[in-house]
Amino acid sequence: MREFGFELALCAHLEDPETLVARQLGGGVAAPGNRILDVVTVTPGPEFDARTEITPARIPALAVESDVGPGRFRYWKDAFDCHPDRARDVVDRAVDVGFFERERRGNRDYVRQVARYPDWFGRIRAIENKPDLGSPGALRRQLRTDVSLALADEVVLATESHVTRAHLNRIPDEVGVWRFDPPDGVEVVQPPTPLPVDAGGIELVEEHPGRAEIRPVTAAEKSQYRRRLAERAYGKGWRPDEFPACRRATVERGGVPRCDWHGRVVDPGNECGPDCPEYAPDDGPTVDAAAERADRSPWVDDPDGVARRQAGLDWFSYSGH
């Protein structure tokens, strides 16, 4: 199976009422874009229900980390330690998704959180997909980076290949190994070792012939970026942004795009369209990705929203006088 299809099939297999699944997320601290995690799973924490009530979208990291709180309104410029243009964008986005509410006083905007940001996530798992271990590429370096940084609670390698002792000897001992076959599910070849997420870590920033640039990462930085990673996973999910607009397209269980001509899962953005010899323009399958995700995972598609609920209570109190 091609890596894209393998990844989507694995995401569909892992998603359940107790597991959020997302894919293609930055997995670094000093250089988040240097390490892209194929799949991330997040289990709900003690205040997960409070998080679902706020918004189905990702809450901007700088909004959570700002000095805006759920108490009194604050002048927005005083609450951010970044360029005002960046702060304005964050405020606008936080208001749009329902995490901030805004009040106009004269010619100034004041903001506050609609609710305290909750302690909503539990364990984070990072999964590296490598269907064919015969073509490992940079696999060893990627997994060593994940283990030494320890941003996720555990790291797993998922493959379709038969796993030998030689394969296991080439990866860090802490990495779990799954053999995944879509019809049959996951076979645990080697369980992962829990990583020290509460301690500092070491991040590989750049690698050159004969030398590597690394950066120590503190426990506080890791805590901040774990929250950012979990928040991105909550907002993004794993389903593709588009589905094939072709008569040959179908949808597998969970919302996975499949092509009957190819006989496999396809990547709509790269494989479907006029360049395909069997492309047959059509509306394609009807897929409600949000409904699929809400039905199969703990994510909530259309919460009442704390801001809307508070507005309703304010109206009720006012109308009762």
Reported as a single tens digit per residue, the pLDDT across 223-249 is 999 999 999 999 999 998 888 889 999
**pLDDT (tens digit, 9 = 90+) per residue, 151-198?**
999 999 999 999 999 999 999 999 999 999 988 899 999 999 999 999
The three-class DSSP label of residue 214 is strand
Q: What is the largest CA-CA distance in the chain?
A: 77
Residue 34: per-residue pLDDT: 87
DSSP letter for 138, please.
Answer: T
Residue 206: per-residue pLDDT: 82
Token pair recorded at residue 64: 């959570």
HSE-up (13 A, CA, CB side) for residue 158: 26
Residue stretches of the chain with pLDDT short of 70? 1, 307-321
Residue 307: per-residue pLDDT: 56
d(CA 229, CA 50): 18
d(CA 11, CA 293): 11
Q: Report which of 138, 182, 141 is spatially closest to residue 159, judged by C-alpha positions.
A: 182
Residue 78: per-residue pLDDT: 95
What are the sequence ranges of the domains in the chain? Answer: 3-48+119-236, 60-108
Residue 87: per-residue pLDDT: 97
Q: How many residues does the chain have?
A: 321
Measured in degrees and rounded to the nearest 5, phi and psi for residue 5 equal -65, -40
The model's pTM is 0.91
Q: Report which of 215, 200, 216 is spatially closest to residue 151, judged by C-alpha positions.
A: 200
The three-class DSSP label of residue 177 is strand
Residue 316: per-residue pLDDT: 39
Q: Report which of 40, 26, 95 is spatially closest to residue 237, judged by C-alpha positions.
A: 40
